[in-house]
Amino acid sequence: MKFKKIIITNFRQFKGRNELNFSTDDDKNITIVYGGITHGKTTLLQAFNWVFYNIVKLENPNDLLNKEIADNLGRGESAEVEVEIHLEFDGENYRLIRKQVYSVYLNEMYGKISTGTSLVRAEKEQNDTWIPAGNYDDIINKIMPSNLSTYFFFDGERIDNISEQQRKGSKEVENSVKEILGLEHYSTAIKHLSTGRNSVLAELRSRINTSANSELDDLRREYNNIDIDIENNNDKIKRYENEIDNLERDKKAKEQVILDNKATYEKQQEKLSLKAKLDSIMIKENNQIENFKSFFNNYYLDFFYYGLNDKMKELAEVLDTKEEGIPNMHAYSIDYILNRGYCICGEKFEKDDTHYKALLEEKKKLPPQSIGTSISNFNKELRQKISEEKSENFKTEIVNKFENILQIIDEKNTLQDKIDNISNNIATDVNVGELENEVRQIEIKIRDYTEDIGSLKGQNINKEKRKEFIEKEISRLSQYDDRNIEINKQIEYAEKITKILQSVYDKKEIELRITLEEAINKYLAKIYTGERYLKITDDYKFRLVYTDDKESEYDAPASEGLGTVKAISFMCGLLDVAKSKFLEDIAEETEYPLVFDAPLSKIDSTHIKNVMECLPDTASQVIFFIREEKDLDAITDETKSKIGKRYYIKKVSEKHSEIRTEKEED
Amino acid sequence: MFFDKEYSFKGKHAQYVTELVTAIFKRNVDVLILAPVLGLIYNRTSTEDLSSDINTKIFAEQMVKENEKIIFNYRLCMLLDENANNQTKIDNAFRYYTENSGDIDRFNNNIKRYNSYILGGVEILYELMIKENKSFTGKNKDDVKYKKEIIDNVTEFISNYQKDVNDYNNIGDEVDSLD
């Protein structure tokens, strides 16, 4: 099978008619489509999915009409989305057309677009005209059944599922693998026979008549209760597993942010430590300033008094002024004379006359009113206070303290500059420390859920054992009733069939896993230059181990690029196995094309080269979506010569992309 | 007695004192203690500014506590006041420093004279320690930049003090010699 061309009209950002002709030449079976991020590579892949299966794995999958056209749609107007694909299958040319009409109805609010009629058409070429080929779904099933599509229309998302070790991812992969490789029928049969309350065995057991025997009746009741418990536990397990998936996703997103901001984090840490230093310096600065002030307030007089030094002579002269009090006379003597009313010379006087006043003046010069002591004390004090030494000490101390402060301020400014510098270089406000803490919290939650799941599973195992015991008891106790004997026979029969199916399934499953593992590693060895072996575990986890240590419990270190390589190897291996086991049933010698939207930019050029050389051999035709031309710099001329056609997605606007044959600079 | 009663700075002097205390001094009373010394040294006197209601007080309690220093400085002012003979200076310093000295008018005059040195000194302190920082007036006294400017000024004032005083005295001598 080969794709000849696809015509895309108004499908999402592909406004108007866009036609891509694929290279069908056997020697040049590669077509390359270049497109940057958001240009529309993924949308292009989804156009294939839509025309084939009416599936669109994009956000808002019902809004297929180009946004620019939708925005300009007037009342009563309609527009069509159409994808038409031409292909060659089993020697015949087919074309598949899917159309969807979008309308704004007259009675609707402006801007409300309704989905109108849709139609599909499958046609076959006969004598240069197109004739109906039959029922669309039948044709699709013949050409390429939907369960295969995800492996032939291969998107980057899928790679993440394979390269991730998340439960959801591995479960999905496990199911698709089993489905594709035909194990599904066995598992469906086993389930139908034995699993759950609607299974054949459950139905048969419920038919056993227990009413005649109260012991039997009790056992039946217990059995039913255990069944309900197990179902409840399984519900819980499913819920917890979903929780874990959500937490894992959250954790992964946070870890990515942490990784992206690692450098910022280190800067933040440095800034924090500088800030702590700055804080302590600022405290020191404040303390020193307070210390300066406190010293000043305690000793300022010591210093400033010395400014009076030049006036000391003048002061001494004033203080030397002699008071001429009568020697050895006391103020009381004068008081006595004043009281008796006449002087020692005998002259009488009256209060307030000149004689009286003269005596009062004389009294002031005598003790205790004499100021001699005060003066001499003052003099002494003065000489203590006006001291060059004290003044100089104060000055030296103040200048020292000041210089000390200047030095601290200098240190502070240098630190502040450093911090500012770091701040300018920190691009985001993402708090990595906090995120790491959140990741730890998530890990704790995941661990808790995992433990809960473990204990629930343990409970279920015990309950299943008890159920088994009860089954035997019921069968033993019910042997006395003819009808029950009949039913027990049927049960035994169903159990036996289940057992046989299970053992076939197990055998096939192991075989399949081994075959798949071999096929995948064949490709891995071709694509990957390092020493890695891909191991598929019992629960369909894909682990990369060192080639020389395949039994290792631990994964060998893997880069993001290696994850992609692993996914591509897986895909090639799966195609190989599928071809040999399953595709032969559909059409003899059919080879399938591969439409491949892989994040090749995640892997290095050597591996891109290997992938590019390996893929064309696995498929009849390869259509590659690649981000940039330089992604293919490393491929050999031989591979280059296999490229038959090249296209470029040109992004005209956010809502408008076009497919062109010539590269045009943006 | 003046020295154990509440004291009030008024008008611009109240504003100066408030700023000085914000900037460097611990208490209003510290300004009152230091100011007359500088008034004397720089021979700067001033009169009360009654142009506004602003005032800032020193409580009697603090006056009493610092009483010795304040009286000492009063005496210095009286002893170095140029407008009197030596005996009058001595009497003013050691006798007429209280209301109970028997001559209340003389006491009041002395206090007025002493106060004029205080106010002159406040102006000097303000001019040398604060004036450069007018822009900081009313700003947060915890602002480190402001504090730094102040100690800058204070240190400069202290460093140049002795030289300033000498220069001032020399000019005074020269002026005297011109008479």
- What digits encode the pLDDT tens for the residues A417-446? 999 888 887 766 677 788 889 999 999 999
Name the residue range of residue B35's domain: 2-178
Cβ distance of B148 and A289 shorter than 8 Å: yes
Check residue B133 and give its pLDDT.
Answer: 57
User: Which of the residue ranges A137-141, A360-364, B11-15 would you say has the lowest mean pLDDT?
Assistant: A360-364
Check residue B57 and give its pLDDT.
Answer: 93
Q: How confident is the model at residue A665 (pLDDT cuts 50, 70, 90)?
A: low
Residue B137 has pLDDT above 60, yes or no: no
Check residue A619 and give its pLDDT.
Answer: 77
Q: Are A35 and A627 in contact (CB under 8 A)?
A: yes
Of B103 and A84, more confident: A84
Query: Per residue in A484-504, pLDDT tens?
Result: 888 888 999 999 999 999 999
Of B109 and A324, more confident: B109
The verdict on A300 touching B (C-beta cutoff 8 Å) is yes
Chain A: residue nearest B121 by CA? A304
CA A589 – CA A102 distance, rounded (Å): 41
CA A132 – CA B65 distance, rounded (Å): 118
Q: How confident is the model at residue A85 (pLDDT cuts 50, 70, 90)?
A: very high
Residue A66 has pLDDT above 70, yes or no: yes
Q: How confident is the model at residue A365 (pLDDT cuts 50, 70, 90)?
A: confident
Cβ distance of A293 and B26 shorter than 8 Å: yes
The verdict on B40 touching A (C-beta cutoff 8 Å) is yes
The verdict on A440 touching B (C-beta cutoff 8 Å) is no
Helix or strand (DSSP H, E) at B81: none
The verdict on A417 touching B (C-beta cutoff 8 Å) is no
Check residue A105 and give its pLDDT.
Answer: 80
Interface test with B, best of A300, A306, A384, A396 (most B CBs within 10 A): A300
Which segment, A26-30, A103-107, A127-131, A619-623, is predicted with the most confidence on average? Answer: A127-131
Q: How confident is the model at residue A408 (pLDDT cuts 50, 70, 90)?
A: very high
Check residue B12 and give its pLDDT.
Answer: 93
Query: Per residue in A232-276, pLDDT tens?
Result: 999 999 999 889 989 988 998 888 888 877 777 788 888 889 999
CA A137 – CA A146 distance, rounded (Å): 10
Chain B: residue nearest A320 by CA? B86
Number of folded domains that form chain B: 1
Q: Are A118 and A99 in contact (CB under 8 A)?
A: yes
For residue A304, give the nearest of B25, B34, B152 by CB distance: B34
For residue A374, give the nearest of B41, B94, B161 by CB distance: B94
Cβ distance of A308 and B41 shorter than 8 Å: yes
- A180 CB neighbour count, 10 Å cutoff: 22
CA A57 vs. chain centroid, Å, equals: 22
Written as one string, the DSSP assignment of A278-326 is: HHHHHHHHHHHHHHHHHHHHHHHHHHHGGGGGGGHHHHHHHHTPPP-PP
* Alpha-carbon distance values, A654 to A37, A47, A180, A239, A651 (Å): 11, 18, 38, 39, 7
Residue B134 has pLDDT above 60, yes or no: no
A283 to chain B: which residues are within 8 Å by CB? none
Interface test with B, best of A352, A395, A402, A406 (most B CBs within 10 A): A402
Cβ distance of B38 and A307 shorter than 8 Å: yes
The verdict on A374 touching B (C-beta cutoff 8 Å) is yes
The verdict on B89 touching A (C-beta cutoff 8 Å) is yes
Which residues in A604-629 are b (16+ Cβ under 10 Å) and which e? Answer: eeebbbbbbbbbbebbbbbbbbbeee
A291 to chain B: which residues are within 8 Å by CB? none
CA A547 vs. chain centroid, Å, equals: 32
Check residue B175 and give its pLDDT.
Answer: 67
The verdict on B90 touching A (C-beta cutoff 8 Å) is yes
Average pLDDT score over residue span A2-31: 92
For residue B147, give the nearest of A289, A315, A375 by CB distance: A289
The verdict on A318 touching B (C-beta cutoff 8 Å) is yes
Residue A39 has pLDDT above 70, yes or no: yes
User: Which of the residue ranges A377-386, A396-405, A610-619 would you say has the lowest mean pLDDT?
Assistant: A610-619
Record the tokens describing residue A596, joined without a space.
């491949």
Q: How confident is the model at residue A324 (pLDDT cuts 50, 70, 90)?
A: low
The verdict on B100 touching A (C-beta cutoff 8 Å) is no
A315 to chain B: which residues are within 8 Å by CB? 76, 79-80
The verdict on B34 touching A (C-beta cutoff 8 Å) is yes
Q: How confident is the model at residue A25 (pLDDT cuts 50, 70, 90)?
A: confident
Check residue A666 and give its pLDDT.
Answer: 46
Q: What's the mean per-residue pLDDT of chain A?
A: 84
CA A376 – CA B99 distance, rounded (Å): 23
The verdict on A283 touching B (C-beta cutoff 8 Å) is no
For residue B86, give the nearest of A285, A301, A321 by CB distance: A321
Chain B: residue nearest A322 by CA? B87
Per the DSSP assignment, residues forming a β-bridge with A96 are A85, A122
Cβ distance of B161 and A307 shorter than 8 Å: yes
CA B73 – CA B61 distance, rounded (Å): 18
Query: Per residue in A219-242, pLDDT tens?
Result: 888 988 998 999 899 999 999 988
The verdict on A301 touching B (C-beta cutoff 8 Å) is yes
Of A580 and B112, more confident: B112
User: Which of the residue ranges A109-123, A142-156, A203-217, A511-525 would you say has the lowest mean pLDDT?
Assistant: A142-156
Cβ distance of B37 and A304 shorter than 8 Å: yes
